Amino acid sequence: MRLDTSLEQIKGVGPVASQQFAAAGLHTVGDLITFLPFRHEDYSHVALIDSLEPGKATIKGVVEKVATRQVKRGMRVTTATIADSSGKVQAVWFNQPYRQAQLETHEEFLFSGEFEFRYNRYQLTNSSVEKPKELQAHTGRVLPVYHQIKGLKNQLLRKILREVYPIFEFLPETLPRELVEREGLVSYGEALRAMHFPSGGDDIARARERLAFEELFGLLLASAFNKNEQTKLKSEAINFDAQYIKSVVESLPFKLTNAQRRAAWDIFQDLERDTPMNRLVQGDVGSGKTVVASLAACLARYRGYQSAIMAPTEILASQHAETLAKLLTPFNISVGLLSSRVKGLARKELYAQIETGSVDVVVGTHALIQESVRFKRLGLAVIDEQHRFGVAQRQLLLDKAKFMPHLLALTATPIPRSLALTLYGELDSSIINERPAGRKEIISKIWSPISAKNLYEQVDREFNAGRQGYVICPLIDDNPDNDKKSVEAEYKRLKSTIFTHRSIGLLHGKMKPEEKQEVMEQFSRGEITLLVSTTVVEVGVDVPNATVMIIENADHFGLSQLHQLRGRVGRGVHQSYCYFVLSDSKKPSERLKELERSNDGFYLAEVDLRLRGPGEIYGRMQHGALNLKVATLHDAELIARAQKAAKWFMESTHNVLDYNQLHAAVAKYQRITTLN
């Protein structure tokens, strides 16, 4: 028997079963032994019948009598009396008529099942039954539980695994031995054996550690290889000029924070290289990432290069264009906005300006790199609020420039370090963990829906002082199947009752882009005092005079989304407030309490990861595609170990091609993690 022996050659695998295995992607012995149980049930303790306690139990006893009867249509019950040296017990199986033939009287068997009180007596229900053997498959041990393969019972899987048991001893090590030893890991074969046939103690934990380590190691090695490959791409160096940048920084309307300086410095150093920058700047909402990016654009322009700045939505793109124009025009840098609003002749003209290089900085949505836009000399691409650049996007960029432009990504969704390493390992990262001076902490309060009146009075006082605010609702229209608040209804209600004396605006995603734009501009200019909106205002919107936000049905939103929303206020010099209004009078959730306590995006990201797990947060696709069987992306300690090991491997003389399984894993992860 070998790893590539096909399953149909194994005793017990008939043509039907082998088809079912194949349908689940299991063709060979190797496939089978790497199909891991997702949990284990402990039936290892063989109890005496008179000491049985309710719950999972194993007994070893002789069958005294057995009978099967039809209780009603479609329901057959098999009952047996089992005896051991301490006493007797009744065992019952529902709709398993084959038990009748299996349970020879006077024979001894092991039974593992649920001991429970049912029909007025204690009984052992639906137990697995097996003759005592050297290697038990179904009873008297810690039982592996496998995800159900269509048509194949766990029972059959365990039986077949027992057939292939000898292979575990001969499995070759898949990682460098040196690494396994140094990390104190169990061997590959031992780990797989323990997953399928645990023999007690901590061997399952040790097996999981070993297999999880191997997965993370492969993932981090893939990142390291990706990073290596990126350094083979050529970019044009954009050399730093201290004098010039100093003059720009000095003429800014504010003093840069230290964190902004550090991030800018990281970027300037990257730009000096003739390999492309590939940097992610993480900074909480309002930490001033845009300014940092525009310093880079300034330097690029100074050295004769154009920059492209991409935002996820049209609203944001036009806001960015405005901000950048304000910042950059004094330095004689021209900023163009490529939005869906620019049409016909104007669009043609803009294209021409980009192509001849008379526009220095072009702002737009991602369409900017997808459309037939031609740059004269693109040196820097900035992507706002998108966590990674995919291979496809890189290719598009390369098509636009002779050399690979330097890439800068900005995100206001901080990623916990452990995740950043595994998911974005090939990106360098800078963190802006400091607020601009003079910014006050936003005061956050969880609010009960019954004291709403009181809340509106407080909000109105802000409006009296000249400030503006937001009301956020989850729905656009009222929906009979959903009792959450809608912006349409709330807008009408507030306009006609509570805030009749105020100018109220409405914003949601079903409005035409031009309408949205118009409303946002009115709000920016202060012509709208209160904006009733869905989460379309989520990212990046910057109206420093807005100081209050009411979030209706706050419990309905996710933690990071609420934090993002809250970041729309607290962007100016005034004290700001955020009210999380609950849907009902139930106790507020843990995440709302954390939000009330903390304003720190990095801390909240860790909390979110703890409360929800990485799959939920970073999308099923990503996590699912990685197809990690054992490792979890929040095991920070193991990730750190694997990271160190990957670094060691890259610097060592080991060749990944000498490790088949590792090589295959790395190749797979490389494909996935560089795809968008």
- Residues 470, 530 contacting (CB under 8 angstroms): yes
CA–CA gap between residue 245 and residue 671 (Å, rounded): 39
Residue 299 CB, shortest distance to Mg ion, in Å, is 20
Dihedral of CA 131/136/141/146: which sign? negative
In this complex, which beta carbon is closest to Mg ion, that of residue 351 or of residue 389?
389
Contact letters for Mg ion, residues 486-525 (x by CB under 5 A) = ----------------------------------------
Q: Which residue is nearest to ligand ADP (CB)?
A: 288
Residue 146 CB, shortest distance to ligand ADP, in Å, is 47
Amino acid making up residue 533: S
Task: 262-269: list long-range contacts, CB under 8 Å, 24+ apart.
Answer: 262/430, 263/289, 263/292, 263/430, 263/431, 263/432, 264/292, 264/295, 264/296, 266/428, 266/430, 267/292, 267/295, 267/296, 267/408, 267/430, 268/240, 268/296, 268/299, 269/240
User: Which entry of ligand ADP, Mg ion, none binds 285, CB below 5 to 8 A by partner kind?
Assistant: ligand ADP
**Token reading at 460:** 């109105």
In this complex, which beta carbon is closest to ligand ADP, that of residue 194 or of residue 315?
315
Which residue in the set 288, 540, 601, 614 belongs to the binding site for Mg ion (CB under 5 A)?
540
User: Which entry of ligand ADP, Mg ion, none binds 673, CB below 5 to 8 A by partner kind?
Assistant: none
Of 525, 454, 532, nearest in space to 496 by CA:
532
Stretch that binds Mg ion, among 286-294, 363-371, 562-570, 664-672 (CB under 5 A): 286-294
Question: What are the residues whose beta carbons fall under 8 Å from the beta carbon of 50, sequence distance 6 or more?
Answer: 86, 87
Residue 55 CB, shortest distance to ligand ADP, in Å, is 54
614 lies in the site for Mg ion, by CB under 5 A: no
User: Which entry of ligand ADP, Mg ion, none binds 112, CB below 5 to 8 A by partner kind?
Assistant: none
User: Which entry of ligand ADP, Mg ion, none binds 291, CB below 5 to 8 A by partner kind?
Assistant: ligand ADP
In this complex, which beta carbon is closest to ligand ADP, that of residue 140 or of residue 288?
288
In this complex, which beta carbon is closest to ligand ADP, that of residue 293 or of residue 532?
293
In this complex, which beta carbon is closest to ligand ADP, that of residue 133 or of residue 246?
246
Residue 412 CB, shortest distance to ligand ADP, in Å, is 5
CA–CA gap between residue 225 and residue 601 (Å, rounded): 30
**Can you point out the beta strands (E) in 298-347?**
306-310, 335-338
CA–CA gap between residue 10 and residue 33 (Å, rounded): 13
- Residues 227, 276 contacting (CB under 8 angstroms): no
Stretch that binds Mg ion, among 7-15, 219-227, 298-306, 534-542 (CB under 5 A): 534-542
Residue 254 CB, shortest distance to ligand ADP, in Å, is 3
Residue 253 CB, shortest distance to ligand ADP, in Å, is 7
Residue 422 CB, shortest distance to ligand ADP, in Å, is 25
Q: Which residue is nearest to Mg ion (CB)?
A: 540
Amino acid making up residue 61: G
In this complex, which beta carbon is closest to Mg ion, that of residue 290 or of residue 418?
290
In this complex, which beta carbon is closest to Mg ion, that of residue 271 or of residue 432?
432
User: Which entry of Mg ion, ligand ADP, none binds 283, CB below 5 to 8 A by partner kind?
Assistant: ligand ADP
Stretch that binds Mg ion, among 88-96, 170-178, 285-293, 422-430 (CB under 5 A): 285-293
Distances in Å between the Cα of 475 and the Cα atoms of 24, 138, 281, 471, 485 are: 41, 52, 32, 12, 6
In this complex, which beta carbon is closest to ligand ADP, that of residue 167 or of residue 296?
296
Of 369, 531, 542, 551, nearest in space to 446 by CA:
551
* Interface contacts to ligand ADP, rule CB under 6 A: 254-257, 260, 283, 285-291, 412, 436, 540, 542, 544, 571
DSSP, res 631: -
User: Which entry of Mg ion, ligand ADP, none binds 294, CB below 5 to 8 A by partner kind?
Assistant: none
User: Which entry of ligand ADP, Mg ion, none binds 571, CB below 5 to 8 A by partner kind?
Assistant: ligand ADP
User: Which entry of Mg ion, ligand ADP, none binds 641, CB below 5 to 8 A by partner kind?
Assistant: none
**Can you point out the beta strands (E) in 371-455?**
378-384, 406-411, 428-432, 443-447
What is the Cα 589 distance to its own chain's centre?
21
User: Which entry of ligand ADP, Mg ion, none binds 455, CB below 5 to 8 A by partner kind?
Assistant: none
Residue 262 CB, shortest distance to ligand ADP, in Å, is 13
Residue 567 CB, shortest distance to ligand ADP, in Å, is 7
In this complex, which beta carbon is closest to Mg ion, that of residue 488 or of residue 521?
521
- Residues 580, 595 contacting (CB under 8 angstroms): yes
Residue 428 CB, shortest distance to Mg ion, in Å, is 20
Any idea which residue has 């306690």 for tokens?
53
In this complex, which beta carbon is closest to ligand ADP, that of residue 449 or of residue 544?
544
In this complex, which beta carbon is closest to Mg ion, that of residue 154 or of residue 307?
307
How many residues bind Mg ion (CB under 5 A)? The answer is: 2
Residue 547 CB, shortest distance to ligand ADP, in Å, is 14
Residue 540 CB, shortest distance to Mg ion, in Å, is 4
CA–CA gap between residue 130 and residue 179 (Å, rounded): 41
In this complex, which beta carbon is closest to Mg ion, that of residue 290 or of residue 413?
290
In this complex, which beta carbon is closest to Mg ion, that of residue 209 or of residue 384?
384
Distances in Å between the Cα of 145 and the Cα atoms of 30, 214, 437 are: 19, 22, 56
DSSP 150-203: TTB-HHHHHHHHHHTGGGGGGPPP-S-HHHHHHTTPPPHHHHHHHHHS--STTH
User: Which entry of ligand ADP, Mg ion, none binds 311, CB below 5 to 8 A by partner kind?
Assistant: none
CA trace torsion 25, 26, 28, 31 (10° rounding): 100
Residue 290 CB, shortest distance to ligand ADP, in Å, is 3
Residue 558 CB, shortest distance to ligand ADP, in Å, is 19
In this complex, which beta carbon is closest to ligand ADP, that of residue 256 or of residue 267?
256
**Token reading at 475:** 């729905």
**Token reading at 364:** 């737009």
Of 166, 217, 215, 173, nearest in space to 193 by CA:
166
In this complex, which beta carbon is closest to ligand ADP, that of residue 284 or of residue 552?
284
Amino acid making up residue 268: F
DSSP, res 360: S
Encode burial over 595-624: b for 16+ CB neighbours within 10 A, e otherwise: beeebbbbebbbbbbeebebbebbeeebbe
User: Which entry of Mg ion, ligand ADP, none binds 58, CB below 5 to 8 A by partner kind?
Assistant: none
Question: What are the residues whose beta carbons fall under 8 Å from the beta carbon of 449, sequence distance 6 or more?
Answer: 581, 582, 583, 584, 585
Residue 361 CB, shortest distance to ligand ADP, in Å, is 15
Which residues contribute to the site for Mg ion (CB under 5 A)?
Answer: 290, 540
